[in-house]
Amino acid sequence: MFAGSKRYLIAAILFAAALSPLLSWIASAHPSKIWDRYYLGIAIDIGINIILAVSLNLINGHTGQFSLGHAGFMAVGAYTAASLTWGAEAAKTSPLLGGIIFALALLAGGGTAAVAGLAVGVPSLRLRGDYLAIVTLGFGEIIRVILQTTDTMVRNWELDPTGGLARLLENMGGASGMKGIATLTNFGWAWALAAVTVFVIAALVNSTYGRGFLAVHDDEVAAGAMGINPVRYKVTAFVIGAFFAGVAGGLYAHHKQYLNPNGFDFMKSIDIVVMVILGGMGRTVGVIIAAVLLTLLPEWLRMLPSFTLGNVPIQLTDFRLIIYSLLIIGLMMARPQGLFTFGKARGGKA
C-alpha cells in the first residue's frame, strides 16, 4: 500500500505531527529564548513558504510559464479560509473539532484559489511569455484591489447590514485588514501540508501524465506535435499551483491572525518567484532549500550589528532590504541557474 515515495510522505507527515505537540510543549514549559514563539513562528513561516515556492515551481519551473500572481492566489485562499473559521467558536474549545473545521477551511481556501487559477489559466490559451506574466500580475492586483474594498461594498451595493454577506464583507475589513482570526496553524499543520505539497507535485511531475508539463516547458510546438495538449497542461499547472497557494494562504491567515490586502501585493509574488529562481527552476529540492534560506535571511539580516563610523552611528539592520535586493542582482549575475543546481539540468532547455 505504501510503496516507494509514499513511505517518505507518511514518515514526513508523522514526523511533523509528532514534533508539533513536542515543540509547543517545550515552548510552554521553557519560555526561554530559543523556543519562544518567535522561533516557532519562523519555523511555521518556513513550512508555508515551502508550500508557496513548490507550488509556484510547478507553474514557473516545471511548466515553464511565468506567473507573477502567486500572492493573489494565496490571498484568495487566506481570505476564504479565514472567513470560514471566523465565528466558529467550537474551533477554540475542542481541538479535534477545530482540526476538522480547519482542514475543511483549508480545502475550501485551496478550492477557491484553484477556481481563480482556472480564471488565470484560461488567458494562457492565447498568451505566452511576457504577456502571460503581465496578465498574472494584473490578476493579482485585481484581487488585491477587490479585497481592499470589501467594506465599502456593503455601502455601495446597499446590502442589508444584518445579512450574512454584509457581515462577512464587513469582517474582511477592506483596506484596514481582517482581524481576530483564530490561531489554528501550528508547526504540525504547516510542515505536514508542506510534505503533502512536495509529494503531490513531485509525484505528479514524475508520473506519465506529468511528463507533459516538462514537454510544454521544453518546446510547446513540439509537445503539441507529439499529441500533448499544451493549453490543457498549462491550465492544469495553474489550477494545481493555485490550489496549494490557497492552502498556504489559509495556513498563513491562521498563523498571523491578521490579513491585510497590501500583504499580498506584487512584492509578495516576487518573493516567491525569487525562491523558485534561486532554487533553480524546476528543481524541487533546490526550491525547498531556497524557501528555507530566504525565510531565514531577513531574520539573519535583522541581527546585523550596529557600529559607529567616526561620529556617525551606522545600523546595518537599516540596510537589510538593500542587501536583499543586491543579493538578487548578484545571484542573477553569478549563478543564474540557481544556487542549488549542480550537474546537468533536467527538463531544461536544450
Residues found near another protein in the complex (CB under 8 A): 66, 123, 126-127, 129-131, 133-135, 137-139, 141-142, 145-146, 148-149, 152, 156, 221-222, 266, 270, 273-274, 277, 281, 318-319, 321-322, 324-326, 328-329, 332-333, 336, 349
Smallest gap from residue 163 Cβ to another protein (A): 20
Smallest gap from residue 347 Cβ to another protein (A): 14
Smallest gap from residue 142 Cβ to another protein (A): 4
Scanning the structure block, which residue is given the C-alpha cell 524546476?
282
Residue closer to another protein, measured from CB, 130 or 311: 130
* 337: its cell numbers: 541557474
Smallest gap from residue 329 Cβ to another protein (A): 4
Spatial CA neighbour of 246 closest among 71, 104, 124, 118:
71
Smallest gap from residue 118 Cβ to another protein (A): 14
Q: Which ranges of the chain would DSSP assign to H, the alpha helix?
A: 5-29, 37-56, 70-85, 90-93, 95-121, 130-148, 150-156, 164-172, 187-206, 211-218, 220-225, 230-256, 266-279, 284-302, 320-334
Residue closer to another protein, measured from CB, 303 or 329: 329
Residue closer to another protein, measured from CB, 24 or 317: 317
Question: For residues 47 and 195, is the Cβ–Cβ distance under 8 A?
Answer: no
Residue closer to another protein, measured from CB, 138 or 263: 138
* 274: its cell numbers: 525569487
Residue closer to another protein, measured from CB, 3 or 333: 333
Residue closer to another protein, measured from CB, 33 or 349: 349
* DSSP letter string, 5-54: HHHHHHHHHHHHHHHHHHHHHHHHH---STTSHHHHHHHHHHHHHHHHHH
Residue closer to another protein, measured from CB, 126 or 344: 126
Residue closer to another protein, measured from CB, 33 or 130: 130
Beta-strand runs (E) in the chain: 306-309, 312-315
Residue closer to another protein, measured from CB, 193 or 278: 278
Instruction: Give the span between the Cα atoms of 185 and 109, in whole angstroms.
Output: 14
Spatial CA neighbour of 338 closest among 280, 297, 298, 285:
280
Question: For residues 75 and 147, is the Cβ–Cβ distance under 8 A?
Answer: yes
Smallest gap from residue 204 Cβ to another protein (A): 23
Smallest gap from residue 85 Cβ to another protein (A): 27
Instruction: Give the span between the Cα atoms of 185 and 84, in whole angstroms.
Output: 14
Question: For residues 171 and 207, is the Cβ–Cβ distance under 8 A?
Answer: no
Question: For residues 108 and 80, is the Cβ–Cβ distance under 8 A?
Answer: yes
Question: For residues 65 and 132, is the Cβ–Cβ distance under 8 A?
Answer: yes
CA 28 to chain centre: 28
Smallest gap from residue 57 Cβ to another protein (A): 14
Smallest gap from residue 248 Cβ to another protein (A): 21
User: Of how many residues is the chain composed?
Assistant: 350
